Amino acid sequence: MPTQSFKEKVFRVVRGIRRGGVLTYQEVARRAGNPRAARAVGAVLRTNFNPAIPCHRVVRSNGALGGYNRGVGRKRFLLARERLSEL
């Protein structure tokens, strides 16, 4: 059985973030097996256009939203909508 690439591991971790929840780039990197690769997580997520991989649920360690390949305004909207639906 071939080993998963870092990209595949990142996508697996991000797929597991539940609606209304978030993880930091650093936490995704740690769970993907490389705790020092937070920037690499951002680079991987920038390539994602699969709606089944909710990369908008990944934020910076300082609480800031960080980037999003569909625009940070869209990221803000999606997170707000998910959090409101959880109430």
Beta bridge partners of 59: 24
- 14, 55, 58, 59: the catalytic one is 55
- Is 65 annotated in the active site? no
Q: How many whole angstroms separate alpha carbon 81 and alpha carbon 36?
A: 31
Cite the active site residues.
Answer: 55
